[in-house]
């Protein structure tokens, strides 16, 4: 089973992030030795600002008891309590392919890493076995026959929906068992387009019949004509769920498909 989680995103200012509804991780900066280590090595920390519910990146200048004096990136000095700090990752880890590579997996560090990639039009990231896909709200030149061939031949191995589809196809051919790709996300996050790209890959690597490949890809147009509608947040929202079964023979060639 392969998992893809889609998300919509809007670019914000570097180094600061708004508050979400989730609970923040407990700060590991609990001991005096930890605070001293961060001050001595001038390591970055995330500060939770209570007046505007944002995380800001800075460095601890000094500490008095539970009060931390932090210099923000814009040069301003603020005073926060020890419990309002979370450790930041080293700059070398900004925008890593897989979030599990981060030294600290707290909320602002994860969001910052994803923001760094999104700002460079890198819309795919991994979180262990899960692929994270962000809607770029514009065309990005990372699809098509050349990219399909590159992922099939393992020339490219960075996070991509083609890599997810290739893993499912390869596992099917290796083990002979059914495989599934689950695509989830909020409305407007790009689930339908992500599903199209996954189908595009599976159709291209598993079909020598141009007519079969064309039917599989173009079936989406009929579904969207009857099942899509305009909503407040998405002008072409899919108002239905679908289960797409693609059947292959022992040679790995598409023998049929059905949509429920």
The pLDDT score that the predictor gives to residue 20 is 40
The pLDDT score that the predictor gives to residue 26 is 43
Rg (C-alpha) for the chain, rounded Å, is 23
Mean pLDDT of 20-41: 63
Q: Look up the domain containing 185 and give its range.
A: 2-9+94-259
State whether 72 and 105 are in the same domain.
no
Domain boundary, last residue among 35, 56, 87: 87
| Total length of the chain | 260
Percent of the chain predicted with pLDDT > 90: 58
Domain count, the chain: 2
Bridge partners (DSSP) of residue 255 are: none
The number of C-alpha atoms within 13 Å of 244 and in the hemisphere containing its C-beta is 18
Q: Which residues belong to the annotated binding site for ATP?
A: 185-192
Give the whole-angstrom CA distance, residue 154 versus residue 259.
Answer: 30
Q: Which residues belong to the annotated binding site?
A: 185-192
Domain boundary, last residue among 33, 61, 87: 87
State whether 188 and 225 are in the same domain.
yes
The overall average pLDDT reported for the chain is: 86
The terminus-to-terminus CA distance of the chain in angstroms comes to 19
**Cβ proximity of 4 and 162 under 8 Å:** no
**Cβ proximity of 216 and 258 under 8 Å:** no
pLDDT at residue 21 is higher than 60: no
Q: Worst-scoring range by mean pLDDT, 24-28, 137-141, 250-254? A: 24-28
The pLDDT score that the predictor gives to residue 191 is 92
In sequence order, the 6+-apart residues with CB closer than 8 A to the CB of 66 are 81, 82, 83
Tens of pLDDT along 168-226?
999 999 999 999 999 999 888 999 999 999 999 999 998 776 677 778 778 888 888 99
Query: Where does the pLDDT of residue 234 fall: very low under 50, low under 70, confident under 90, or very high at 90 and above?
Result: confident
Distances (CA, A) of 38 to 56, 61, 231: 16, 9, 48
């Amino acid at each position: 089973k392969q998992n893809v989680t889609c998300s919509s995103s809007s670019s914000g200012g570097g180094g600061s992030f708004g508050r979400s509804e989730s609970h923040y991780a407990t700060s590991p900066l609990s001991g005096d030795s930890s605070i001293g280590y961060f001050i001595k090595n001038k390591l970055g920390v995330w500060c939770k600002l209570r007046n505007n519910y944002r995380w800001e990146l800075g460095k601890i200048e000094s500490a008095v008891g539970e009060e931390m004096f932090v210099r923000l990136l814009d040069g301003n000095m603020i005073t926060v309590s020890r419990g309002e700090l979370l450790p930041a990752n080293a700059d070398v880890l900004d925008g890593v392919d897989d979030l599990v590579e981060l030294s600290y997996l707290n909320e602002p560090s994860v969001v910052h890493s994803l923001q760094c990639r999104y700002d460079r039009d890198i819309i795919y990231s991994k979180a262990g076995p899960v692929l994270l896909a962000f809607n770029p709200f514009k065309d990005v030149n990372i699809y098509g026959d050349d990219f399909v061939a590159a992922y099939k031949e393992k020339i490219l191995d960075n996070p991509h929906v083609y890599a997810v589809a290739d893993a499912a196809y390869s596992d099917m051919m290796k083990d002979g068992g059914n495989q599934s790709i689950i695509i989830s996300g909020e409305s407007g996050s790009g689930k339908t387009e992500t599903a199209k790209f996954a189908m595009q890959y599976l159709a291209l690597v598993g079909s020598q019949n141009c007519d079969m490949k064309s039917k599989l890809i173009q079936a989406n147009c009929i579904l969207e004509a009857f099942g899509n509608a305009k909503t407040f947040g998405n002008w072409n929202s899919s108002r239905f769920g679908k289960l797409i079964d693609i059947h292959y023979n022992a040679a790995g060639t598409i023998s049929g498909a059905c949509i429920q």
